[in-house]
Structure 1
């Protein structure tokens, strides 16, 4: 069963939750100032101004030439801390070097979170899902959610150990390494079995 969907609560992203990305950055984790791998999930917020519905154009500011495509699945919370369903998301960001403390100005620009138009509520395990990113119809990336550092159940448990997720909040599962880049004029499709394809087109912001 699917229903039309847009977030009604806070959307939380998580970093370094795909094994390939974690392993690629592992050598840096032992350097100052941290000197050790993170022990808890690294979270950030995608604010409400970032939400773009399926099919909407997403405007890039004049100074932005390209963006990283962060295709992922999000757990949508229901009542009593239960997961009500899941949806596709396109977590766009301006390329940047800081993975531990991603600046808001790179991740929370207007429209920088494409949201799948349907909420999947059939109880399927997101940890067994996969998706594909297509730019102008060409396959650019595949993400297999069996390759997470923390599977969906463990990620949810670790996050709710130190904070409360309320009904309507969303917990993104993370993005795979080597995120593809896209420019104004290109269409981004995120395709996954069991979901309506999430499509957004990048355009230049009007002067």
Structure 2
């Protein structure tokens, strides 16, 4: 199932994308006599709510009534993760070819850092480039969205705790990131984690480490890789993190970016994100995340 959020009358609504269109699930629930009102966090964290959602969506798909479908051409997407997310965990240098292109040693352990809620942005949202940076870089990444509390989980069953997956552009202001030994400043500018368009449930992704991953800038392919190049795969990342602190439903893990970022180019060939650039991140099975960049 492809879940999403959208804005309607100043409210954030839950939707499901289907080949027939985008279903306003709360509108469908009301019209089909279920009465349940859904929100994204509850669907992620409560199995009963998710099962009820599946029933509503199944019924809606088979109805001739299309009044609970949303016109996508006039729709404003919201972030595809809950607004009340507790943790945004990032894994640095987690693709072998990316480590090589930046002349960084292959990590012995996952390199973990964090972002904050201010970085969360949506598909098609306009991103304002920060005035304090001239070196904003794109980073296509696969996001793991946790569905269950996870503490001390073993590698073999780590994916059982995952609700789903989505795209993110882990934007990085390289001049700020490299100012000190700590990367946080360059990673946490406002709207530096656009996600979406969909949160795709784990049952639709057989193996998260068997997916093509790409970035386009103004239609030109810049990153073209595969999640199989991860140094630490998704199972290993979840297990490793859970042995140090508890993962909770709704927590997200950004699993690293592959080769092809601006930072990996020779200095005289680097062209950072500019005003009016359109950057798209596409991961197999997860749709295409699109954002345009502007300056104040």
Assess same fold via TM > 0.5.
yes
| Contact residue 6 and residue 117 of structure 1 kept, 8 A | no
Q: Secondary structure at the match of 1:128?
A: coil
Question: What do the CA deviations read for 1:154-197 (whole angstroms, capped 9, x no partner)?
Answer: 12111212111111001111011341332121010112221221
Q: What residue is the counterpart of 2:86 in the other structure?
A: 9
Q: 2:95 and 2:231 mapped to 1: Cα distance?
A: 6
Select the structure that is richer in helix. 2
Q: 1:178 and 1:98 mapped to 2: Cα distance?
A: 18
Quickly say closer, same or farther: Cα 1:65–1:99, change in 2 above 3 A. closer
Quickly say closer, same or farther: Cα 1:63–1:104, change in 2 above 3 A. same
Q: What residue is the counterpart of 1:34 in the other structure?
A: none
Q: 1:56 and 1:159 mapped to 2: Cα distance?
A: 31
Q: Secondary structure at the match of 1:58?
A: strand
Aligned residues: 197
Structure 1: which 5+ residue stretches go unaligned? 30-36
The CA RMSD over aligned residues, in Å, is 2.2
Pair 1:91-2:170 in alignment: yes
Pair 1:116-2:213 in alignment: no
Question: What do the CA deviations read for 1:88-129 (whole angstroms, capped 9, x no partner)?
Answer: 000001114649944322110011111112111124211001
| Contact residue 93 and residue 107 of structure 2 kept, 8 A | no
Pair 1:169-2:238 in alignment: no
Bigger CA radius of gyration: 2
Q: What residue is the counterpart of 1:32 in the other structure?
A: none
Q: What residue is the counterpart of 1:77 in the other structure?
A: 146
Pair 1:202-2:293 in alignment: yes
TM-score, length-scaled by structure 1:
0.86
Quickly say closer, same or farther: Cα 1:183–1:111, change in 2 above 3 A. same
Q: Secondary structure at the match of 1:79?
A: coil
Q: What residue is the counterpart of 1:184 in the other structure?
A: 275
Quickly say closer, same or farther: Cα 1:25–1:73, change in 2 above 3 A. same
RCO (CA 8 Å, sep 6+): is it higher in 1 or 2? 1
Q: 2:215 and 2:140 mapped to 1: Cα distance?
A: 7
| Contact residue 52 and residue 112 of structure 1 kept, 8 A | yes
TM-score, length-scaled by structure 2:
0.62
Q: 1:103 and 1:176 mapped to 2: Cα distance?
A: 18
| Contact residue 75 and residue 83 of structure 1 kept, 8 A | yes
